[in-house]
Amino acid sequence: MTPELQKQLADLAARLGTTVEHLWGVLVRQAYVDGVSSFLAAGTRGLFIIALVWAWFHLWPKAKTQLVASLDDAIRPPGWFVALFDVLCFFVLALIIWPQVEAIADNIYWVLSDFANPEFYALHQLPGWPR
């Protein structure tokens, strides 16, 4: 530990009424908690994506067929319109899924970082360190 880091930890520990060793230990243990929560967040987002893709391939074709069949002949859309609507719905689905994939990648980074190097996480929790 560098002297500057030691000084910052000592100042923070004095304000909290604890020792530097205890404070550092808590920060390192918190890294594991953050890693688990990031893992759970990534898993939840992954399940959400799986559910969306499953719905697209299993529920959407049935719902579209029933919807088109239920329309009167006078207002039934042409085939090209139904195909265009499919493409539009696919792009909406992609716009929903893409941010989830990016969030999963970010969460996986923190899972690996928190478990591989918990001191890195602890350093970034100190006041004045970049996040």
Rounded Cα–Cα distance for residues 110 and 36 (Å): 9
Residues of the chain with pLDDT under 50: none
Measured from the Cβ of residue 58, the count of other Cβ atoms closer than 10 Å reads 10
Which amino acid does the sequence have at 115? F
Task: Look up residue 58 and give its DSSP letter.
Answer: I
Domain ranges of the chain: 3-124
Rounded Cα–Cα distance for residues 94 and 51 (Å): 13
> What pLDDT is attached to residue 77?
80
Q: What pTM does this model have?
A: 0.76
> What pLDDT is attached to residue 131?
61
Find where tokens 């994939």 sit. Answer: 101
Rounded Cα–Cα distance for residues 8 and 12 (Å): 6
pLDDT digits (tens, 9 = 90+) for 70-107: 877 778 788 888 888 889 999 999 999 999 999 999 99
